[in-house]
Amino acid sequence: MYRAGMFTNAEYLEARFGISARVISVLVQVLYRTVIIGMIATTNYLTLMIACEWSSVMAWTIVVAVALLATIYTMVGGLKSVAITDAMQSIIMFVAGAILFSVLWNHVGGWTGIQEGIGSHDEKLADRILNIGSEYVHRKGVEDLSPEQLERKLLLGGQYDEQQLAVIYRTPAWLISLTLIIVGFAFATVNHTQSMRLFGARSMWHLKMSVVSACLILLL
């Protein structure tokens, strides 16, 4: 798609399948993005109302003003303006994320406080989500299955525990890690808003390196 000089996924759909596919995809994306924008607008409104204690009118005024500003600079500047604001917003998000992490880390009492807090609700949950690099074990009761059904079920994997009357599934840590890596790298290439940004790269090398750098940051 990049070598063909395309800038949107809808453009590819028209070239490959005709104008109908492009129109349908655009309608779907407009509906989808409208929902997302509505969620973002509502979140910003509630943040200004609750955290800043602004009035409803003032909060909505700011939200609408920001939306109009983003619409104007996107229409005027095109992909370049989006790239510039993306870069600026990334810096803000990294800094804000570091500050938020530090505040929460100190508030909960560090790693020990996190373990104690989660463990007070569910000890097994703490072991599952706080231990990176350990295998995932899942048990499923099969006491209601006939021997034939149990045999078919075991063909899909797992080990039968006669004492617990359950099939135990074990997912090794390396497979979990590999899955996270694949999902992390897939986002920057499958998500349509990300792929359309890639089409604006000045060369194929820049496109590939932007994917690698973005995915590595996401995985971290």
d(CA 43, CA 156): 43
What is the rounded radius of gyration, in angstroms, for the C-alpha atoms of the chain? 24
Q: What does the pLDDT profile of the chain (220 residues) look like in tens digits?
A: 889 988 888 899 999 999 999 999 999 988 988 999 999 999 999 999 998 899 999 999 999 999 999 889 888 888 888 888 888 988 998 899 999 999 999 998 988 888 888 888 877 777 777 766 667 777 888 878 888 888 888 888 888 887 778 888 888 878 878 888 888 888 877 887 788 888 888 899 999 998 898 888 888 8
Amino acid code (one letter) for 160: Y
Gap between the Cα atoms of 170 and 96, Å rounded: 38
**pLDDT tens for residues 33-53?**
899 999 999 999 999 999 889
Q: Who's near 118: CB < 8 A, 6+ residues apart?
A: 125, 126, 129, 130
Residue type (1 letter), 197: R
Measured distance CA(77)–CA(112) in Å, rounded: 49
How do residues 46-85 score in pLDDT, each as one tens digit?
Answer: 999 998 899 999 999 999 999 999 889 888 888 888 888 8
